[in-house]
Amino acid sequence: MSERSEALPPVVDRPIRLLVVDDEKAALSVIPEALRDGLEDMGWNQLTIDVAESGEQALEVAGEGPLDLLVADVVMPGIDGIETYVQLKDRFPHLSCVVMTAHAPQHITPIRALRSGAADYVPKPVDPDYLVTTCHRQLVLGHLRREVEDQQRLLEAIISSVDIGVLAVRGDEVLCMNEVAESLLGSGDTPWEGLSTLGVDMDPVSTGSAPGPQSKELVVESPEGGQRVMHVVRSSMVGPQGQHNGDVWVFRDVTHLVETKQSESFKQMAAIAAHEMKNSVTGLRLITQHLVAQLDAGQLEVESSRRMATLILDSVDRLDRFARSFLGFSRIPDPAPTDVDPNTLIHEALSVYNREKGLPKWVTIETDLAAGLPAVHADRDLLFQVFQNLILNAVEAMEEQGQGTITLISRLSEQAEDHVELVVKDSGPGIPQEMQSQIFEPNCTTREAGTGLGLVIVRQIVRKHGGRVSVRSVPPDGAAFSVLLRVAAVDESPRLQHDEEEK
């Protein structure tokens, strides 16, 4: 057996049990000992071999304990070897079987054995070395199958125990999906409908090289009421040659983190507001005291008084801007929507901005509005405020260069089915890369006199409509703010709204 001992199996730290069944007593006196000597020589040290003289006796001897391998003669009186295996397989799902037959290979008996689930067959008269090698191979395969199943059960236990959603897919096949992911996507045969319902427009990739990680932030309606913010990451399972072997999706509830971030932003915003108000009030106090002193001394001069009055008005205007921004942010009402033509929203916003009503002469307004767009279900007053803010932002973005074009676009969305996309695009310097991920957060502003609340208000209003707002900017080629609104014919209470920043 020295040649066989060079290829030891993986270390198996559990007992291995074999059952040898043959109605020939001579075979039962030789085969078990040959198997024991040969398999122990190949590294199977915790070995138990039981014997039975018939299929009926084998069913009794097998009992209920673990059984790894059945070595059975095919032709026996009563229950033959194949039927014995079939019945024992119901009791021991991991059981492997090697049958011994005098009819191989020209007879149909070996084929019947293999079709019934037997792993291999050994012709009679039995060659002990060939039998040992065959049984060794089946024990190794059985051990490896158990290892894979144990690892799979461990992985499933880990995935089930975490509080994040995990989904693994290969094409349309779901490899695993824990309860958190199932609660988000539903328990259908494939996850793509659930992902589409959530607004995640990432189609499965079946061939080619693996794409890089992708991420989204979703705002999902909670079954208990309210909303949850979910961070979704899609990563590829990569094969040994770099090929795409499927995807892993991870859904993480970041509501607490977002709320904490918002709380910190509001604290910072309150501190900035307090500082700004204190500065403005201090300036007003000093200017007023100076005016009173000049008045008391009878030294009030017209030009000096006009200059100080201008400073007072500037301070009052700044305080008024802060007050309006804070009140606008805190008092956004729930929408009272009606079916409206998307182009009407654009025209109403533009009706306020023309050269007769204060639009700078250096600004050019252009429109590219698609005809025949489906209606959206929107609150016209709130959406007027959205596009008013976006147009004002565009004007302010181009103010320093003193020239530029604002383009307003309407079209069916290519990235989200059943949505209309309305875009406000400027030819300004663009938004710095480091600011783009924060552009919809409080206090994020590029203007010294800005409050940093305009785009926060825009995002809140669009969210209340079940829509999405995003920004695309590659400095110095301007910026484009895109508002996605669901068309009126579709369910007006979608499960998802999400904001994404595309750089």
Distance CA 143, CA 484 (A): 55
Those residues with Cβ within 8 angstroms of residue 39's Cβ, 6 or more apart along the chain or in another chain: 47, 132, 135, 136, 139
Q: Which CATH architecture has domain 258-330?
A: Orthogonal Bundle (1.10)
Least confident piece of the model among 138-147, 367-376, 477-486: 138-147
Confidence bin at 503 (pLDDT 50/70/90): very low
pLDDT at 122: 84
pLDDT at 159: 80
- In terms of Cα–Cα distance, which of 426, 429, 434, 432 is closest to 482? 426
* Sign of the Cα pseudo-torsion (404, 405, 406, 409, in order): negative
Distance CA 146, CA 164 (A): 28
Q: Could you write out the three-class secondary structure of 74-142?
A: CCCCCCCHHHHHHHHHHHCCCCEEEEEECCCCCCCHHHHHHHCCCCEEEECCCCHHHHHHHHHHHHHHH
Those residues with Cβ within 8 angstroms of residue 220's Cβ, 6 or more apart along the chain or in another chain: 184, 198, 227, 228, 229, 230, 495, 496
pLDDT at 485: 93
pLDDT at 471 over 60: yes
Radius of gyration of the chain (CA): 38
Stated pTM of the model: 0.45
pLDDT at 312 over 90: no
Over residues 338-369, the pLDDT tens digits come to: 999 999 999 988 887 665 556 788 999 999 99
Those residues with Cβ within 8 angstroms of residue 283's Cβ, 6 or more apart along the chain or in another chain: 311, 315
pLDDT at 500: 39
Distance CA 370, CA 351 (A): 19
pLDDT at 88: 93
Over residues 375-389, the pLDDT tens digits come to: 999 999 889 889 988
pLDDT at 64: 83
25 vs 290, higher pLDDT? 25
Amino acid at position 256, single letter: H
| Domain boundaries 338-497, CATH class | alpha beta
Tokens linked to 198: 């959530």
In the chain, ranges of CATH 3.30.450.20 domains: 164-252
Distance CA 373, CA 496 (A): 23
pLDDT at 492 over 50: no
pLDDT at 155: 81
pLDDT at 496 over 50: no
User: Residue written as tokens 């767009």?
Assistant: 373
481 vs 229, higher pLDDT? 481
Least confident piece of the model among 131-135, 286-290, 451-455, 498-502: 498-502
pLDDT at 450: 47
297 vs 13, higher pLDDT? 297
Over residues 221-261, the pLDDT tens digits come to: 665 556 677 788 888 888 777 777 888 888 887 877 766 76
In the chain, ranges of CATH 3.40.50.2300 domains: 4-157
Kind plus residue range of the DSSP H or E element containing 435:
helix 433-436
pLDDT at 483: 95
pLDDT at 258: 67
Which of 48-52, 79-83, 99-103, 435-439 shows the highest mean pLDDT?
48-52
Amino acid at position 339, single letter: D
pLDDT at 371 over 80: yes
Rounded percentage of the chain residues whose pLDDT exceeds 90: 23
3-state DSSP assignment of residue 335: coil
| Domain boundaries 4-157, CATH class | alpha beta
164-252, CATH topology level: Beta-Lactamase (3.30.450)
Distance CA 143, CA 11 (A): 10
In the chain, ranges of CATH 3.30.565.10 domains: 338-497
Q: Edge to edge, what strands does the sheet with 244-253 contain? A: 173-177, 165-170, 244-253, 227-238, 214-221, 496-497
pLDDT at 136 over 80: yes
Confidence bin at 207 (pLDDT 50/70/90): very low
pLDDT at 498: 39
Per-residue b/e over 378-413, b at no fewer than 16 CB within 10 Å?
bbeebbbbbbbbbbebbbbbbeeeeebbbbbbbebb
pLDDT at 355: 54
pLDDT at 32: 94
pLDDT at 425 over 80: yes
pLDDT at 474: 87
| Mean pLDDT (whole number) for 302-316 | 78
Over residues 150-201, the pLDDT tens digits come to: 888 888 888 888 778 888 888 777 888 888 888 777 765 566 666 666 666 5
pLDDT at 408: 96
In the chain, ranges of CATH 1.10.287.130 domains: 258-330
Rounded percentage of the chain residues whose pLDDT exceeds 70: 74
Distance CA 34, CA 17 (A): 15
pLDDT at 325: 57
Q: Across the strands, what pairs with 340?
A: 376
Distance CA 203, CA 165 (A): 19
**340 within 8 A of 375, measured Cβ to Cβ:** yes
* Per-chain mean pLDDT for the chain: 78
